Structure 1
């Protein structure tokens, strides 16, 4: 099945480069382009892509607002496209806002073509992509916000290390640690000799048991005190 991609960026040169990279990958196809956030919303509704590759900073309607409108006000039928945000991060103070707006992942604009293709496929498959090279900085940005602006449950409600060991199995703790390192489900599966389906199932169970909404919150939990949780419970 071909993953249909909409590229939204205010620079034509960037859109052209992204189109070339994506169209040359098997199973990926660019179905349209947008030069700003308003166009991205309109083209997404018109073309119904699987993934929108969204620049954060665009004139007029920003990538953050476009993401919010696409993910939160989707006219249907069918599910809303998944939004993969492209960011330089050092300049993008809106990254945490895009997260709250419903973005499924973040990728640096200087990522390799293979990494870009992998991220598009992962997002299309329902994963939330956190590139390892921006995970730490994203976590620092979000955790520096006032408590009322943090995504998910308040810090006091988040489980401590002892409670993590009680709530999760040893294998689930291993999965949680690798999520905190920014690994995709495919890479976690390879690292732990599991299938991707098994990793996805375990991650869903982890989120449910810890009262979290997505893997970004899971990564925040892992890095909450700068230490990864220790494995403290036997079993799968």
Structure 2
């Protein structure tokens, strides 16, 4: 199966370099490019790619707003494209808002070609690109931002705790592992489950929490205190804040 990719970046040199890297691989096809966020949305609606590689800092409509518009106002039947955000990370503070808007992952612009290809496959497959080496740094940087920088951000820790009441103890355990950046394979190996079972449980967790992807799940877990030193694993009573235990 060929993964169809749309590239959005305001620098022509970057677009050309990305196209060269992606098109040389037999399982990818670059179906179009865009030089700003507004064009990215329009081209995505026209071409219906599987993944949009979205730069953050672009003139006019930036990558954050383009991601929000694309995922919130998708006009076609079926799900919208996945969004893989390109970022310099240390400088692009708005990447956090893009993840809140529903982007499926993030990738550093200086990442090697093999990592880009891996990220595209992961995001196209419906999982988030949560690199374990930077997941906690991403969450820490996000939670340090003033709430005003994040229009439409989900509610704070108290409400996050209440939302987690919908999960079973096992689902909380899986959520913590997702928040630590572990892949379905690693979670399956650690819990003695099949990858299919883990994928099903992750999807059920996202549905019960009303979330779009694993990045948002990781942020919610952090907001609820599940990743704090004192709460680095699901609570033994099975509830998110003292509720009754669940199977």
Q: State if a TM-score over 0.5 links the two structures.
A: yes
- Give the gaps of 5 or more residues in structure 2: 239-245
Per-residue deviation at 1:205? 3.2
Contact 2:99 2:216 in 1 (8 A): no
Match of 1:155 among 149, 154, 157: 157
**Cα 1:84/1:143, change in 2 over 3 Å:** same
Contact 1:122 1:184 in 2 (8 A): no
Segments ≥4 residues shifted beyond 6 Å: none
**Cα 1:159/1:86, change in 2 over 3 Å:** same
Contact 1:57 1:63 in 2 (8 A): yes
What's the TM-score once normalised by structure 1's chain length?
0.82
Per-residue deviation at 1:212? 5.3
The equivalent residue for 1:55 is 55
- Give the gaps of 5 or more residues in structure 1: none
Contact 1:107 1:130 in 2 (8 A): no
What's the TM-score once normalised by structure 2's chain length?
0.79
The reply to whether residue 184 of structure 1 matches residue 188 of structure 2 is: no
Where 1:115 maps in the other structure, the secondary structure is helix
Residues 1-236 of structure 1: pairs in structure 2 closer than 5 A: 1-146=1-146, 151-159=153-161, 167-169=168-170, 172-189=171-188, 192=191, 194-208=193-207, 211=209, 213=211, 214-223=213-222, 224=225, 226-227=228-229, 228-229=232-233, 232=236
**Partner Cα separation in structure 2 for residue 193 and residue 111 of structure 1:** 32
Q: CA RMSD in A?
A: 2.9
Contact 1:147 1:155 in 2 (8 A): no
**Partner Cα separation in structure 2 for residue 51 and residue 190 of structure 1:** 28
**Cα 1:98/1:159, change in 2 over 3 Å:** same
**Partner Cα separation in structure 1 for residue 91 and residue 110 of structure 2:** 14
**Partner Cα separation in structure 1 for residue 115 and residue 132 of structure 2:** 11
**Partner Cα separation in structure 2 for residue 187 and residue 59 of structure 1:** 40
